[in-house]
Every structure is written in structure tokens, then in C-alpha cells.
């Protein structure tokens, strides 16, 4: 029996994108039905803890939140976990990447800032592309700060949840990002690394979406067989592997991601037919 739905945000709960209403109505209706039947919803995201209040304006049900790819956890509105890099480890990783395969942009999220970008080495065309991208996000836009000083101050403070590398937007650069993710994982075994097309995401050791969801279920005393997980990115693959019984990948996901899930769906709301098949058929 599925008691919990763990869903990714971008490309999953937020698919297809609704730049003003944030969440498609069909997804809202489905989660409302699941919640009213006693189910629990946990949002499992690479985003930071500034985002739940914004989601609550559109999703009017109780939900929990796992953010920064498992580096933080919020249950019933209370922070249960915060996991940070050691500043020595993070400094070494940044230095290594800068001297071997520097990305277009370094980004991080921390306890104090949801998104900080470096300015070093950023060409004007890259800056323009990024500004246009952020402008086009509307409801999904993150309050970003571009500052070398703040970026490295956060690293020094030792309260960074996640480091991100924006490698580029061409097909060649996306493949470079995939290779870079593999190289970082091999050189730095004390961190977790995932690849999402043009972005490489790095979190402290043991901080993945899967490990955080497992801890979440243990906090609540819920069997690992009673959760359904759904997502569309490389950082969702560990969830599919840890909870294979009810693992769903979005149809638009990369083939390597879909291959790790038990089933594929087009929309999050398609899970309604999976969870309520007899009731739906009876209604018809």
C-alpha cells in the first residue's frame, strides 16, 4: 500500500511548466485526493528551503520537504536535518575544477542564500543568456546573488548544502558535463555527484535524494515498501534504485534515467490511475 508519494519538482510536479500558477491543476487535484485519503506528500528537490512557502501558495495540502538533493529535511514544518560540506573539502573541489575543466558558472546554495553565483571568468554572452533564462522562469525564479565575495565567504563559513556547475548549453557541453561528473566522483569519493544535462550537482557524502527519503521514512516509522517515488533527472536515479517497487520516471526524461525506473508516466497526475484503478473504472 502506498502511504507516501515522494516527488521531484522541476520536470515532475512542475510539468508541464505553468510560469504563473506554478503547478498544473491536474497535479494539484491528484495530490489533494491522495492527501485527503490519508496519504503523505514529500517534495524531494534540488531546490533550497526558501521554496516550500512559495509552493504552499499553490498546493493547499500538508507536505514535507527534502531539499538540496538530500542535504536538508523539513517534516511538519520543522527542520530535522542540515548537512554541510567541510570547507576544506569544498575548497579543494572548487580549486581542482577551476584548474582542470572550469564551467561557465559556479553556483551554490547555503543556509543563508538559496543561490549564489560567482562572477569570475563569466563572459558577457554567458551572463546575458543566464539573465534571460532567469527572467523567463517567472514563478520558478530563484533569488540569485552574483558575487565572488559572498560565494567564497559562504564556502569559508562552512554552511554550504550544494555546489553546482553550469557547464554549457550545447550538446557537446552537456556530454562534457556528464564526463566531468564522473571525473569528480572518481577524484573526490567523499562527496555525492549527479549529472543533469548541462549542470553537475555536488553534495556532501551521504546526501542524496534516496538516502534522505530513507531517513524520512524512518523518522515517520513507515516501511520502505510504502512509498512511491517519481522524477525525471539524474539526481532521481538513486531514489529509483533504492525504492524500485514503486519507481516512476517521467516520459520526457533522459533514456538513461528512464531505464532505472520500474515504469514511466507522462504527467504526475497519471499516478491517479495507478493508485485508484478500480475506483476510476467504477466511476466510468
| Residues 175 and 224 both lie in one domain | no
* Length of the chain as a residue count: 284
pLDDT at position 170, please? 86
Reported confidence tier of residue 280, pLDDT bands at 50, 70, 90: very low
- DSSP class of residue 57? T
The order of strands in the sheet holding 78-82 is 78-82, 72-75, 64-67, 40-44, 4-7, 227-231, 247-250, 263-265
d(CA 130, CA 87): 27
> What's the whole-number mean pLDDT along residues 62-77?
97
Looking up residue 77, the CATH number of its domain turns out to be 3.40.50.1000
| Residues 133 and 184 both lie in one domain | yes
Cell of 140: 520558478
> What's the whole-number mean pLDDT along residues 254-269?
96
Reported confidence tier of residue 277, pLDDT bands at 50, 70, 90: confident
Q: Is the pLDDT score of 242 beyond 60?
A: yes
| Residues 134 and 41 both lie in one domain | no
Identify the CA nearest to 40 among candidates 7, 62, 58, 56.
62
Mean pLDDT, the chain, integer: 92
Looking up residue 176, the CATH number of its domain turns out to be 3.30.1240.10
pLDDT at position 133, please? 66
Bridge partners for 42 per DSSP: 6, 64
Q: Is the pLDDT score of 282 beyond 50?
A: no
pLDDT tens digits, one per residue of 14-52: 999 998 899 999 999 999 999 999 999 999 999 999 999
157, 187, 204: which is the final residue of a domain? Answer: 204
Cell of 212: 534522505
Reported confidence tier of residue 250, pLDDT bands at 50, 70, 90: very high
pLDDT tens digits, one per residue of 83-106: 999 999 999 999 999 999 888 889
> What's the whole-number mean pLDDT along residues 43-62?
96
Cell of 43: 517534495
| Residues 77 and 98 both lie in one domain | no
Indicate the SS3 state at residue 23: coil
The region of weakest confidence among 24-28, 172-176, 222-226 is 172-176
Q: Which residue is associated with the grid cell 569519493?
A: 189
Identify the CA nearest to 230 among candidates 70, 27, 13.
13
| Residues 166 and 261 both lie in one domain | no
Cell of 33: 485526493
Q: Which residue is associated with the grid cell 507516501?
A: 4
Find out whether 137 and 9 touch, Cβ atoms under 8 Å.
no
Find out whether 114 and 48 touch, Cβ atoms under 8 Å.
yes
Q: Is the pLDDT score of 60 beyond 70?
A: yes
> What's the whole-number mean pLDDT along residues 238-266?
97
Percent of the chain with pLDDT over 90: 80
Rounded to 5 degrees, φ, ψ at 40 are: -115, 140
Give me the domain span that covers residue 138. Answer: 87-204
pLDDT tens digits, one per residue of 109-130: 999 999 999 876 666 666 666 6
pLDDT at position 19, please? 83
Amino acid at each position: 500500500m502506498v502511504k507516501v508519494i515522494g516527488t521531484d519538482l522541476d520536470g515532475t510536479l512542475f510539468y508541464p511548466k505553468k510560469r504563473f500558477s506554478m503547478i498544473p491543476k491536474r497535479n494539484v487535484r491528484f495530490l489533494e485526493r491522495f492527501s485527503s485519503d490519508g496519504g503523505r506528500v514529500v517534495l524531494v528537490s534540488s531546490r533550497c528551503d526558501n521554496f516550500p512557502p512559495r509552493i504552499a501558495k499553490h498546493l493547499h495540502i500538508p507536505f514535507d520537504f527534502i531539499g538540496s538533493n538530500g542535504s536538508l529535511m523539513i517534516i511538519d514544518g520543522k527542520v530535522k536535518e542540515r548537512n554541510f560540506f567541510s570547507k576544506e573539502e569544498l575548497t579543494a573541489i572548487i580549486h581542482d575544477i577551476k584548474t582542470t575543466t572550469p564551467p561557465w558558472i559556479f553556483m551554490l546554495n547555503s543556509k543563508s542564500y538559496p543561490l549564489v553565483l560567482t562572477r569570475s571568468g563569466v563572459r558577457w554572452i554567458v551572463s546575458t543568456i543566464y539573465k534571460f533564462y532567469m527572467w523567463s522562469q517567472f514563478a520558478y525564479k530563484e533569488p540569485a546573488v552574483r558575487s565572488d565575495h559572498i560565494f567564497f565567504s559562504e564556502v569559508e563559513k562552512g554552511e554550504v548544502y550544494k555546489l553546482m556547475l553550469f557547464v554549457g548549453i550545447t550538446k557537446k557541453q552537456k556530454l562534457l558535463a556528464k564526463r566531468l561528473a564522473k571525473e569528480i566522483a572518481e577524484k573526490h569519493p567523499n562527496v555525492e555527484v549527479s549529472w543533469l544535462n548541462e549542470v553537475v550537482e555536488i553534495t556532501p557524502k551521504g546526501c542524496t535524494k534516496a538516502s534522505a527519503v530513507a531517513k524520512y521514512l524512518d523518522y515517520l516509522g513507515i516501511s520502505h515498501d510504502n512509498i512511491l517515488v517519481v522524477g525525471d533527472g539524474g539526481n532521481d536515479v538513486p531514489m529509483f534504485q533504492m525504492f524500485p517497487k514503486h519507481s516512476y520516471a517521467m516520459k520526457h526524461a533522459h533514456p538513461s534515467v528512464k531505464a532505472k525506473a520500474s515504469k514511466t508516466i507522462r504527467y504526475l497526475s497519471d499516478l491517479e490511475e495507478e493508485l485508484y484503478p478500480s475506483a476510476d473504472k467504477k466511476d466510468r
